[in-house]
Chain A
């Protein structure tokens, strides 16, 4: 437990080691999370997602710089970055290359960057990304920027984790039909058209604006509908009008720093909105509930697996293979014990 105390006191090596233990799911890592949890809740978690090559890492670099030296004259914030890149499905290896775009942040003790591989988890994050963010939160990082793997259309887990989700687009990646498809665009609190110095930026922005007009205000902001764990979510208590957030669309050129101050201001405005509308609390509650559900499911499955012999299990698989029983009957047979 020494590592936890030392990480909470600001020791960066202890924090780094702790993050490894948590990422590897070691027993020490698990215990560390128990100890860290009550120190959390202070950080603003900002998700940055979008297709590969849209400039997510460059934007994270720019935003981190701004939080270190805020243009609005507010005090400098400590910034944690968790950047996720994909693991190879064949070898399990990974190239984690997000630091290449973040070299401006080197040498600043108020910044801590951690790269992680997705290790087979789909959804744009790794299984332990939320836990790493939790550890950084406990260690006193006030802003935590979470960069997803290059995401396509269904990697929306980031919206469950982050308070504010930025979806980054770039000109020339898709037409209006892409923009009205369900999925990643719906989770945006702020839409960023990066590489805005490229041709086609008007078309991209127009498509996004059209999508937003279709989506709002009929859809309640911040709500998305793919997860079962939302079934228990209580009805929104605040009045709908006061809690409407229309995602703004911003143009940036991250490599040159164009438009990033405006982006910084919109994130600040979103934070105020979250606090004043009660949405912050609501999102926290939903997030913790869905995390609880996932842990519960994982634990229940692993406990149950210990009660069933491998032979009995393979026997059911054999019967499935022979078309003797259906998969639904198989589940019933396994759970209820009769075959």
Chain B
């Protein structure tokens, strides 16, 4: 059986305890045929990068509702790069003010999703990103 499954790490870095969004997205990605490694709450950026490495994922999806995204995201991207995983596509969802979105994209985040996002859009963007096409 030689098949290529998209492997995604869904993690919640930071200290807020609301994992509903992360679970909904994890479930949607599963239903789209992806293999989703779900880590649960309160991961540090170091733990995210370590799990991404051991699991050799194609995509890291982070849920951040605490407002700490501008501190956490650069750190995660930096650690992934330091581990030789700059090819991993990083997405973030949660409460992200509009003015931060361009800055996150500049850092290398591939997609930013706020409340009301359709899970179908996330699935589509992940598929595009992994297969090499640009995400709008």
Binding site for B on A (CB under 8 A): 12-13, 16-17, 19-20, 24-26, 87-88, 91-97, 99-100, 103, 106-107, 112-115, 117, 119-120, 127
Contacts and interface: CB of A to CB of B under 8 A. Distances in A.
The interface residues of chain B, by DSSP majority, are classed as mixed
A91 B47 contact: no
B100 interface: no
Nearest to A27: B2
Nearest to A16: B56
Interface stretch (B30-38, B67-75, B91-99): B30-38
B38 to A, nearest CB: 5
Contacts, number: 89
Interface in B87-134: none
Interface of B: 1-5, 7, 26-27, 29-40, 43-44, 46-47, 50-51, 53-56, 83-85
Given A24-B5, A26-B2, A112-B54, 10 more contacts: A13-B53, A17-B56, A87-B35, A99-B37, A99-B39, A99-B51, A100-B38, A106-B44, A107-B46, A113-B51
B30 A95 contact: yes
A120 B33 CA distance: 13
B33 A92 contact: yes
B3 A16 contact: no
B40 A103 contact: yes
Q: Which of B31, B55, B85 gathers the greatest number of chain A CB atoms within 10 Å?
A: B55
Nearest to A14: B84
Contact of A93 (B3, B29, B83): B29
A115 B52 CA distance: 11
The interface residues of chain A, by DSSP majority, are classed as mixed
Nearest to A87: B35
A99 B38 contact: yes
B27 A95 contact: yes
A11 to B, nearest CB: 9
B55 A115 contact: yes
Contacts of B46: 106-107
A113 B34 contact: no
Nearest to A298: B1
Contacts of B55: 16, 96, 114-115
A99 B40 contact: yes
Contact of B39 (A100, A107, A120): A100
Given A93-B34, A94-B30, A113 B54 contact: yes
A25 B53 contact: no
